[in-house]
Structure 1
Amino acid sequence: MSLLNPLLAIGAGALLIPLLIHIFNRSRFRTIEWGAMHLLESVISQNRRRLRIDQLILLLIRCLIPAVLAFCLARPVLTGGGLLGDAPVALAVVLDNSYSMEAADPGGTRFTAAVESACRVIGELPRGSQVAVVLTGGRPTPLF
């Protein structure tokens, strides 16, 4: 797998922003002792573990959102020949045999280069693949 915009993957470092906000906000509160709190301490101690787990899950989600966004903006692409495997495919090759393709290049005509490219692609197909070759100069004619 590769990334089309690898520099945007640096934005995954933005996952530190919610973590830093969480750390700085935790130390900001002061504990004040007052009489009614003693009545609620048993309830708070029972719910403390569940609340802490809920807060950690929420923090994890907040950290993953910028990381996933940066990864998506970097546009990941799966590459390699192993994606299709050896499964047969259906391929349609459209060759332009108009006058513009008869222009001479240093290696021959453009039409000859197109035919050679098509032969190279067809030669790399797995066994059992179906190929249709169509000429489009004027009225389209299927060759085979």
Structure 2
Amino acid sequence: MYKLLDEEQQIGHRNEWKKIWKIQALEGVWYFVWLLKYDRLLTNWNKRRLGIGSVMSGYCGNIVEDTMHVLRDFPLVMSFWLNVVEVHQENFMRPYDQMDFVNNILTEYRNTAADKNLTSGIHQEIKWISWKLKN
């Protein structure tokens, strides 16, 4: 029974990666998505897990700098997303894990991009650029 469940999980895992590798984007974007998937972005939260520094954001003060803070809640990134993607504020602020958030943003952006005739790979590059701007 366990073997069957494990095989189904591995098939789902492979399908997720097939979607990621089909993205027409820079290699750095693929690496960024991998870091997101495994929660390995070098945030203060992850540095603290390694025994380095504090979990608090140096820019925002008394807020824990985890992946969701870096991707969504950081003030500069939030204004960036709100300008790039036409999202409803309540949907944007719903709690997600990082991959759910990214999938939601990509869905919203694809809809916006289709309306504006933007290229398909640009949304991935925007995520990568926003991370680079933060760091």
Task: Please indicate the TM-score interval, normalised by the length of the shorter structure.
Answer: under 0.3
- Structure with greater strand share of residues: 1
Q: Give 1 or 2: higher helix fraction.
A: 2
TM-score by length of 1: 0.23
Structure number with greater Rg is 1
* Greater relative contact order (Cα < 8 A, sep 6+): 1
